[in-house]
Structures are given as C-alpha cells and as structure tokens.
Chain A
Amino acid sequence: MASTYNIAMVSDFFFPQPGGVESHIYQLSTKLRDRGHKVIIITHAYKGRTGVRYLTNGLKVYHVPFFVLYRSASFPTVFSFFPIFRNIILRERIDIVHGHASLSSLCHEAILHARTMGLRTVYTDHSLFGFADAASIFANKILKFSLSDVDHVICVSHTCKENTVLRASLDPLMVSVIPNAVVAENFKPLDYSKPLPASFRPHHPPPARPLGPHDMITIVVISRLFYNKGTDLLTAAIPRILENHPNTRFIIAGDGPKAIDLEQMIEQNVLQDRVEMLGPIRHEEVRDVMVRGHVYLHPSLTEAFGTVIVEAASCGLYVVCTQVGGIPEVLPSHMTVFAKPEEDDLVAATGRAIAALRANKVRTELFHEQVKSMYSWTNVAMRTERVYNGICGAISEAEFYGYDAANGAGSWSATRGRSGVQSFALIDRLKRYYGCGIWAGKLFCLCVIVDYLIFLFLELCFPRDQIDICPDWPRKERKLDGKEPG
C-alpha cells in the first residue's frame, strides 16, 4: 500500500487565465486530492490575485508575485524564485514537485530548486516543438537544462513523448504517456426530452435526429483563429464545402488574428446566411455551441493532444480533423474522419462525413458514453499516482522501468541510484548537467553550483526549524477503487 504524498504543482499558467494547461492542473489536482494526496499549486500572481487562495476541495493556490514577461509567462530569473519557493516547500512539507508546460519558466526553476533541495520532480509536457527555428533551439536547450535532472516526465500523447524525448535527450523509459481527459458531465449531448436551452434562437432549430436527406447539417468550428490552428485551411475550405453541399452551414467560434480573413471570405462569397461567426466564447459555453452542430471540424496544423475534439465527440459530434501531431491517437476511427492538412483533402473528408451522417451510418448518440469510458480525470490521476510511486521508490525499479533495468543500468542511466531513483548527490547531478553540451553543459553546471550555494546560504540564514509548518486541510479518505497499481 503506497503512502500518500504532498505534491506541489508549479506552472505559470493557472486560473483565472483560461486554457488547457490550467484546467489540466486543476482537474488533476482535485482528483489527486480525492485519492488522499495533499496538493498545492504554485503560480505567479495574476491581476487581483496575490497571496494564498483556497479553491474548491481545499486546493491551495500560492500566487507568487512575479514579473510577467509575455503571455503570462514569468520573467526567467534563474535564482530569484528560490527563497520563497523553499519557504513554501518547507511550510507545506512537499515531497514531489510537479511542473507543467514547457514555456513556463516558473516550472523549470522550480524543478531545478526542488532537485537542489532533494525533492522528487515530475514534469508534464503539453506542447509540441519543432527543431528548426532559433526560438525552438533556445527553448529546447532550456528544456534540456531543466529536464537533465528530472525524475520523470509525463507527456499527453505518444507524439508528444517522442518529441520531448528528442528535445531533452531523455531516456524514453522515464517518459510516461498520460493523456488529458475531459469532464464528460460538462459535455453531454443535447437531451431531446428536456426543453431546449436559450442558445437556440428560433432561427436555429436544434439538430435534427435522425437526419433526413434534406435536413440542415451544421458544422461547428471552435478554435482560436491562429495560423497554427489551420485557419487558412478553413478559410479556403468553407466556400467549397458549402458549394458542394447544400443544406449545410457553419458555426465558427473563437477569435484571433485570422478572423479577418474568415470575415472577408464570408463577404466575398456572400455566405453570411450560411456561416455564423460567434466571436470569442468562454469555455463553459463551448458545450452549448457544440450541441448545435452535427460535425466538428478541426483543421489544426499542430496539436499535442487536442482536447477539443474529445469534447466534441463527447457532445455527440462527428469529428473531421487533420492528421497532425497527436490527433490520430486521440479518438477511435469510428468517431473521426481524418484529412491531410490540404485543402482538397479537408473538403473531401468533410464531404465523406456529411455523406455518412446523411446515410445515418454514424451512431453519434453513443459517442458520449464511449468517450466517458475512454477519458476520465480519475484515470489520469491514478496513472499519475503510479508515476509518483515509481519515482519515490514505492514500486520497485524493476516494476517501474522494466525487469532487468537494474542489471543493465550501466548502459542506460549510470546516475540512477541503487534504489532505482535519481541520485541527489551534487556530483551526480553535475554529471547529468555536464552532458548537455560543450558550452551549455558548463554553464548549466555553474548554475547548479550557484543554486546549491544559495541553498546552503538559505539553510544558514533561514533555518528550517524557524519556518512554520502550515496545518493541512483535512485529507480525504483514500478511495479504495480496486487494486492499487503497485
């Protein structure tokens, strides 16, 4: 029986800012709390939110005041976070530091400091990066620095895992794939037995079911309208789809720099009555928009996981999506039609989807239950817990990494200690950082040494026994959901 842990989730991205990473952290934290762990969240201060907050379920959030650089990523000062971080960690008696999102400098700094303090670290990667441009090279170097000494990495899809392994030069065995999930209750299909919600104005009849040959088919697109979300493809494809298929219409929700292109397309093709642009919507409204349609079109050019297509499928929409990134792994083929990221293929795929729907070949009403059984945050929390058990030695190395990993450890990870976990010894850590590159390795070693000196200084000036231990929120009973993994 594994013990429970005190976990600190660290990321620059958290509520009140909306987004996928934010809700991932929140959902994972609440589910981990349900399983008896103690979870706190450390993020930077948002406007109007500084200090400590409690969320539902006793989830404690530390908003650390930090200068925000760009798109709510904090300014990377390698060491300035350490004193307050150490204080929080000691107050909350944290065992495991779990960082999120590769663009969050707070997360990387926290991982570095946590290793200096002798804590276990986990990192979750939510995004894909290329290798070609200068910005990616820089970001990858930073990631390599941060992940040189991490205990385990979680990726949201297999493609993401491949990418992260290459970017940070990791041992693939220390990278787990744990997908995102959806709260299926929030994405229920339209209940025809109940009165319709207010979002259905008189000229928007609810989607007909079963679909007759001349019923209107509504295609929903919900995405930020950016280049990498494939808005160009969408702009090119919409007139052709509408031309090929009478009795179809589009609902587009979302905002971004490419919205102007879409509007121009609508005006030039005089499609005002067939394309409805809703503008930016909040995440709570996504479901209400989705249930107005039959098909969800997702023309993205890169995507690590694509939570929105899972949400769409959960709402009972037939999904047409481009075959990029981690998307092909996400949904079974009977829920999706895949297209190449080409205009022709997207038009053809949408045509296939419409034809299948008109023929009533797709049982979209079953989608919700299926998605519900595929993705749940409880499952995600359980799998994350296994990672925690693995890095803390609660399950043996042989079980966590494979049977003869201990014997063959010399060839794989020379620095993994005898207990099957990464050693904390400074010299071992320096060895790991030194391999990052000719110049970068030395620089990273310097950073680690400075970090260690700061740690010693802090121990001297602010001794541990003078830091108050904060009382815990009453923990939940550990749920006994079947056998424990390990």
Chain B
Amino acid sequence: MAPPSGLHQSAIPSDFETPFPPLVRSSTVPAGLTSHRADPSHLAPEDAYGSFSPPRRSAPYDSLAHASATDTHPLRRGRKDPSRSRSRRRKRFQKLLWVKQSYPDNYTDQATFLENLQRNPRVRPYDFWPLVADSTVIVQHVCSVIIFIVCFVGIFQERVSPVSVVGWGSFATFLGWLLWDWWVTQETQGQPGDDDARGRMMRGGRAYRDYQAPRRQDSSGLDPSMLNASTVSISSISNLPSAASSTSNLHQEPQRSTNPPGVTTADGSGLLVPTHAHSRSASSINSITSHASAAAANSSSNTATTAARVISGSDGPGASTQSSSSPPPTARNSRTYVRLSTIKSAILIYFTLLGLSPILKSLTRSTSSDSIWAMSFWLLAINIFFFDYSGSSWAGTGTGTGNASAGGATTATGTTTTGTTTTTTTTNTTTATATTRGVSGINSSSYSSSNKRMPVSALSTNAALMASTVLASRLPSTGQVFSLTLFSIEVFGLFPVFRQYARHRRSWRYHAALTVLLVLGAGAGVGMILGDEHGWPWKKAVLGMVVGCLMAALAMGGCSWWLIGLQKYKNEIYGPWDPARPIIISRRHWDDE
C-alpha cells in the first residue's frame, strides 16, 4: 500500500526515445561459463544447453534445497521498491515492466536473471535398503504369478493332480482368512475407535469425513432419489465419483435392520446369471450391483462393506464411538455374522464355478493353442504392469468388520469378472461393453480410498482372471478347469488383498517371510517344471530355489542400485512460471453446510 506519491511519474520519464547508454559486455553478458557461478544451485542460462549433471546432493546444497522447499512460494518479494535506486543516475535494472528501463529490451541482468529458479527442490534421496524393501512388493506379485503359471503347467502336463493344487490353495486361503480374521478381531477389540487407525484411514481422503455428516442426517428422512441427488452433489465437490456414494446409499437401509433377507437371493442370482449365454453382458452389471448390495448387506450390522470400504472403515470402529449404538456384544455378533456370510459366499462361489466349468472347458475349443498362450502371456503381463503395488487402496482398509467381507466381496467380483470375460471371448460384439462393465463392476464394488487409480488395478485383476479363464479352457477335464479357475481366484483375487493387508497393517516380519516363501515356492516350481519328468524332482526344486533366490536378490538389489544411480540425472526445474498450487483450507466449511 504505497502512498500514491509522485514517484511513479518520475519513474516513467519518456526516456525511451533517447539512445540507450552503451552496454558493457561485463554487465550484460556472462564472461565465461564458470566465472559467475556464485551460487551452485542457481541455474545459469548456459546450463540449459550445456551437458551437465546437476549438483550431487552435497550437504550445503541439501540444506538449501530444503530451505527453499519449505518456502512453498518462492515469489519475488521486496524487489519492487523503485524508490531505492531512483536517486542514482543510472538506474539499477529492475525486473519490472511498468518502469521505463534505461536498458535495452534484451538486457540480461546477471544478478536477477533466473534468481527464482529452483532445481530439484523436492527431491528425496533414495536409500538402498528401504528401496530394496519396497521392491519386495513387486517380487511378491511376480512370484505369485509364476506360481500360478507353474500350477497351470503342472496341471496341463498332468504332473500334478488338480485336486491337490486347489486343495492346498484353498487350505492356504482358509488359513490366511483365519489369520486375517484373527488379526482383525484383535485389532477391533484391542483398539476400538483407534485414533491411529482412523488417522490412517483418513489419510488421503479427509473429504470423506467431511461429507459423511450431511449424508447421515440426510438419509434419516428423505426418499432415496433426493438422497442420491444430494449425495451426488456433495460428492462432486469432494471429487468423489457418484458411484461410491450411490453404492453406499444402498447400505443405509440395511444398516438399520440387522437381518438382511435378500442376501442369498441377490448373490445367487448374480452369480448364476452369467451362465445364460445371451443375456450375459447385460446382466453382468446386474450381478455386479447385486454383489455390491450383497456385500453391503453381508456386513450390514456394522456397516462394513467392501463397496464403500473407506466409509465402512471409518464407520466400523468409528460408528461405534460416534453413534454409541454398537456396544462390544454387537460387534462380536457382527463378527460371527460376517464370518458366516463369508463362508456362505465362498460356498456359493464354489458351486457357481462348478457349474460354470463345463462351459469354460469348451470356451476356446475353436481357437488354436498358440493364440491362447500369446494372449495369456499378454494378459498376465498387463496384470503385472498394472497391478496396484502402492497398496493405497488397502492402506485405508478399516479396522472394522469390513475386512472379512472384503474377501468375500472380492471373490464375488472375481466370479463376476469370470462371467464377463466369458462373454468377451464368446461374443465379439459385446466385448467392449462387457469389459467395461467388468471394470466398472469391480470399480464400483471394490471401490475404496483410491478413487483415481482404481480402474487401473481393476484392469490388472480383470486381465489376470481372463488369462486364467482362457488358460483353463485349454484343460481337458471339467475338474481341472474348475480347479484352475478357483485357484486363479485365490491367487489373483484374494491373495493380493491378504498380502497388502499384511504389509500395511502388520509388521515387516510377516511381509519378509511371505516374500521369502513366495520366492522359494516360485523357484522350486519353475525348477520342477523345467526339470525332467522322470528325474528326482527335489533336486531340481532345490536348484530352482537357489536360482530363484539369487535372481530375486539380483533383481531387487540391481534395480535399486540402478535407480539410485539414475538419480544423478534428475533435473527438475521449478520457477515462478509454474502454476502455483493453491492452498485452500476452508473448503469443508461450506461442504458441511
């Protein structure tokens, strides 16, 4: 708020027409490439086209970078005081446009040119061992895919009995489920309404808490359409696609009545529909929604659903504290109920798959095996590349009772996808719609905290299940097809959930042990498959384990080392030309209203 003194008038003399004062090179041009580099973090113009490596992270630079990183708005300040230099005869160069400069237009002031440039201000140096630790996630997934392929090859070559594969797989799944259930129970009982857990849930999406309050009061008395509209409008503010809110609306009613009568019928019809060849693609979406609602109803007593897992996560323990209507006995009952419903849906899936197997068996009879191998290779590659390794969708998984049913819901989703992919391969015309529906089905039914990345991970799951479907269709007998499909659901549908839960909610030891087990298993499997059929299999298995461990170690260490080595090429440039990131804090003020 400078007083409107006369300084602007004197600062705007019409001295443009006068010839410019002579330029001295030393004042305009940097003399050499090195002489003026007073501040190593300043980028000189010649750096833009010279070949250079950015400064290594030396201590002074680091502190400087951090200091500038904390200053989130590196805008120029205090330099637009024109009065300071006015008294001098030749005015100091100012980076101002309204002043008539006594310099030519292409004058480049060495002191101020690019002074606000920042290089790599937000770079966090990687450390080797944490990087290796993080890469275990990828190793785990790759290993589980390898194990699946090994099992397929084993079944295909009739070296392994399919019953034993699916038996051991189911046994492991059951064990995993028991373990998880135990963990979840422990967590719910140990820390009801735990602030830490809730904080973790809220991380990444505090908008959820923001708009929950209005919805809850809305849902008390309004009819569903209005409810829907209001939620949608609110969710558009908080950048939530309406799918989540509309799905979550489904749960509001069963939330009150603890007895969901429609579960089994909805579930059953949804699963059985895909067996009808013609109406598959159309009805798959029905099945999806019914799954969503079924999953919703499954866990209705404590509002834990997969479809709105975040909501359930925050409601599960949170609702008990907020509404204080669910004392511990209710919680325990609900746990039993959730367990029962999970078992129920597992049984349903089992029988549905059993019914589907003959169809799957003859699905691609007219296609040559080569195409199937190529196709499944690409599908599995898609699965590996698009898998959600960050696990952010599970990081927010509630401590509430939703987790157990999450398994069930995911299984249901898997089955739906199987149906959908069946359609994909049989009818060419509906391919696009069917797949999109499959994606959207997973998207809406396993919707959770990562709103944006979810389609990608859904793509990954879909690809894997489709790969397993087409692979299974190569198998000669119904029993084998059934075994492989069920196994694929366990490997691609349920196992990632368990892995990510173990990684995010449990200690590092479980994760490491799981990684080692997977690597060993994959190595042994590959060793046995590659080995001679008549030889002594254990020798090959041990050899495979050793090679697998070596390769895993090499890959993890080598890639981490490579990534760290590549960091020296990092050259992010930030300056005043970058769009500012607005800091808006009061959005929730009017969201809540």
Contact A374 to B29, CB < 8 A, known contacts A325-B576, A334-B4 = no
Q: Could you tell me the distance in whole angstroms from the C-beta of B296 to the nearest C-beta in chain A? A: 29
Q: Say whether B580 contacts A343, CB under 8 Å.
A: no
Q: Say whether B17 contacts A481, CB under 8 Å.
A: yes
Chain B residues 264-296 with CB under 8 Å of chain A are none
Q: Could you tell me the distance in whole angstroms from the C-beta of A393 to the nearest C-beta in chain B? A: 15
Closest B residue by C-beta to A322: B580
Q: Say whether B4 contacts A268, CB under 8 Å.
A: no
Does any Cβ of A come within 8 Å of B59's Cβ? no
Q: Say whether B577 contacts A325, CB under 8 Å.
A: yes
Does any Cβ of A come within 8 Å of B581's Cβ? yes
Does any Cβ of B come within 8 Å of A401's Cβ? yes
Does any Cβ of B come within 8 Å of A331's Cβ? yes
Closest B residue by C-beta to A157: B97
Q: Say whether B20 contacts A176, CB under 8 Å.
A: no
Q: Say whether B8 contacts A334, CB under 8 Å.
A: yes
CA distance A234 to B253 in the complex (A): 38
CA distance A294 to B106 in the complex (A): 36
Q: Say whether A401 contacts B582, CB under 8 Å.
A: no
Does any Cβ of A come within 8 Å of B260's Cβ? no
Does any Cβ of A come within 8 Å of B176's Cβ? no
Q: Say whether A162 contacts B117, CB under 8 Å.
A: yes
Chain A residues 319-368 with CB under 8 Å of chain B are 322-326, 328-334, 337, 340-344, 352, 356, 361-363, 366
Q: Say whether A131 contacts B572, CB under 8 Å.
A: yes
Q: Chain A residues near B98 (CB, 8 Å)?
A: 329-332, 374-375
Closest B residue by C-beta to A174: B106
Q: Say whether B572 contacts A132, CB under 8 Å.
A: yes
Q: Mark A375-392, 1 if CB is under 8 A from B, else 0.
A: 100010011001100100
Q: Chain B residues near A481 (CB, 8 Å)?
A: 17
CA distance A370 to B550 in the complex (A): 75
CA distance A239 to B233 in the complex (A): 19
Does any Cβ of B come within 8 Å of A251's Cβ? no
Does any Cβ of A come within 8 Å of B452's Cβ? no
Closest A residue by C-beta to B579: A302
Q: Chain B residues near A131 (CB, 8 Å)?
A: 572-574
Does any Cβ of A come within 8 Å of B536's Cβ? no
Count residues of A near B (Cβ-Cβ below 8 Å). Answer: 92
Contact A352 to B43, CB < 8 A, known contacts A160-B577, A302-B580 = no
Chain B residues 486-506 with CB under 8 Å of chain A are none
Q: Say whether B23 contacts A370, CB under 8 Å.
A: no
CA distance A482 to B14 in the complex (A): 10
Q: Say whether B80 contacts A328, CB under 8 Å.
A: yes
Q: Chain A residues near B587 (CB, 8 Å)?
A: 236
CA distance A178 to B105 in the complex (A): 7
Contact with A233, one of B24, B573, B584 (Cβ below 8 angstroms): B584
Does any Cβ of A come within 8 Å of B585's Cβ? yes
Chain B residues 1-49 with CB under 8 Å of chain A are 1-5, 8-9, 11-12, 14, 16-20, 22-25, 28-29, 31-33, 43, 45, 48-49
- B75, B117, B577 — most chain A CB neighbours (10 Å): B577
CA distance A158 to B578 in the complex (A): 14
Q: Chain B residues near A322 (CB, 8 Å)?
A: 580
Closest A residue by C-beta to B103: A177
Q: Mark B252-268, 1 if CB is under 8 A from A, else 0.
A: 00000000000000000
Q: Chain B residues near A325 (CB, 8 Å)?
A: 576-577
Does any Cβ of B come within 8 Å of A17's Cβ? no
Q: Chain B residues near A343 (CB, 8 Å)?
A: 582-586
Closest A residue by C-beta to B93: A158
Q: Could you tell me the distance in whole angstroms from the C-beta of A424 to the nearest C-beta in chain B? A: 21
Contact with B576, one of A159, A177, A366 (Cβ below 8 angstroms): A159
Q: Say whether B106 contacts A173, CB under 8 Å.
A: yes
Q: Say whether A333 contacts B2, CB under 8 Å.
A: yes
Q: Chain B residues near A65 (CB, 8 Å)?
A: none
Does any Cβ of B come within 8 Å of A400's Cβ? yes
Q: Chain A residues near B106 (CB, 8 Å)?
A: 152, 172-177, 387, 390, 400-401
Contact with B1, one of A239, A304, A337, A383 (Cβ below 8 angstroms): A337
Q: Mark B345-377, 1 if CB is under 8 A from A, else 0.
A: 000000000000000000000000000000000
Does any Cβ of B come within 8 Å of A247's Cβ? no
Closest B residue by C-beta to A364: B4
Does any Cβ of B come within 8 Å of A149's Cβ? no
Contact with B590, one of A239, A328, A342, A411 (Cβ below 8 angstroms): A239
Q: Mark A428-457, 1 if CB is under 8 A from B, else 0.
A: 000000010000000000000000000000
Q: Could you tell me the distance in whole angstroms from the C-beta of A325 to the nearest C-beta in chain B? A: 6
Q: Could you tell me the distance in whole angstroms from the C-beta of A1 to the nearest C-beta in chain B? A: 14
Q: Chain B residues near A342 (CB, 8 Å)?
A: 73, 582-584
CA distance A379 to B23 in the complex (A): 21
Q: Say whether B585 contacts A382, CB under 8 Å.
A: no
Contact with A403, one of B24, B77, B81 (Cβ below 8 angstroms): B24
Q: Say whether A356 contacts B586, CB under 8 Å.
A: no
- A169, A329, A387 — most chain B CB neighbours (10 Å): A329
Does any Cβ of A come within 8 Å of B509's Cβ? no
Q: Say whether A373 contacts B12, CB under 8 Å.
A: yes
Q: Chain A residues near B12 (CB, 8 Å)?
A: 370, 373-374
Q: Chain A residues near B583 (CB, 8 Å)?
A: 340-344
Chain B residues 101-121 with CB under 8 Å of chain A are 104-106, 108, 113-114, 117
Chain B residues 553-593 with CB under 8 Å of chain A are 572-587, 589-590, 593
Q: Chain B residues near A334 (CB, 8 Å)?
A: 1-5, 8
Does any Cβ of A come within 8 Å of B96's Cβ? yes
Q: Say whether A163 contacts B575, CB under 8 Å.
A: yes
Contact with A362, one of B1, B28, B29, B585 (Cβ below 8 angstroms): B1
Q: Chain A residues near B203 (CB, 8 Å)?
A: none
Contact with A171, one of B22, B45, B81, B105 (Cβ below 8 angstroms): B45
Chain A residues 135-159 with CB under 8 Å of chain B are 152, 154, 157-159
Does any Cβ of B come within 8 Å of A130's Cβ? yes
Q: Say whether B95 contacts A482, CB under 8 Å.
A: no
Q: Chain B residues near A174 (CB, 8 Å)?
A: 106
Does any Cβ of B come within 8 Å of A189's Cβ? no
Contact with A379, one of B3, B16, B96 (Cβ below 8 angstroms): B16
Q: Say whether B1 contacts A352, CB under 8 Å.
A: yes
Q: Chain B residues near A373 (CB, 8 Å)?
A: 9, 12, 14
Does any Cβ of A come within 8 Å of B84's Cβ? no
Q: Say whether B105 contacts A176, CB under 8 Å.
A: yes
Q: Chain A residues near B16 (CB, 8 Å)?
A: 379, 382-383, 485
Closest A residue by C-beta to B12: A373
Does any Cβ of B come within 8 Å of A232's Cβ? yes
Contact A232 to B582, CB < 8 A, known contacts A160-B577, A323-B75, A332-B98 = yes
CA distance A175 to B9 in the complex (A): 28
Q: Chain A residues near B582 (CB, 8 Å)?
A: 230, 232-233, 301, 341-343
CA distance A333 to B1 in the complex (A): 7
Q: Say whether B584 contacts A236, CB under 8 Å.
A: yes
Does any Cβ of A come within 8 Å of B124's Cβ? no
Does any Cβ of A come within 8 Å of B547's Cβ? no
Contact with B25, one of A323, A326, A383, A402 (Cβ below 8 angstroms): A402
CA distance A327 to B96 in the complex (A): 10
Task: Across the A-B interface, give the 7 residue pairs with the lowest CB-CB distance, nearest first.
Answer: A482-B17, A176-B105, A169-B49, A341-B580, A128-B577, A172-B108, A342-B583
Interchain Cβ contacts under 8 Å between A and B, 21 examples: A131-B573, A159-B575, A162-B114, A162-B577, A166-B48, A169-B49, A177-B105, A236-B587, A268-B593, A341-B580, A341-B583, A343-B584, A373-B14, A379-B16, A399-B23, A402-B23, A402-B29, A403-B25, A404-B29, A482-B17, A485-B19
Measured CB to CB, the residues of B under 8 A from A are 1-5, 8-9, 11-12, 14, 16-20, 22-25, 28-29, 31-33, 43, 45, 48-49, 73, 75-77, 80-82, 95-98, 104-106, 108, 113-114, 117, 233, 237, 572-587, 589-590, 593
Measured CB to CB, the residues of A under 8 A from B are 128-132, 152, 154, 157-160, 162-163, 165-166, 169-179, 228, 230, 232-233, 236, 239-240, 261, 264-265, 268-269, 301-302, 304-305, 322-326, 328-334, 337, 340-344, 352, 356, 361-363, 366, 370, 373-375, 379, 382-383, 386-387, 390, 399-405, 408, 411-412, 435, 481-483, 485-486
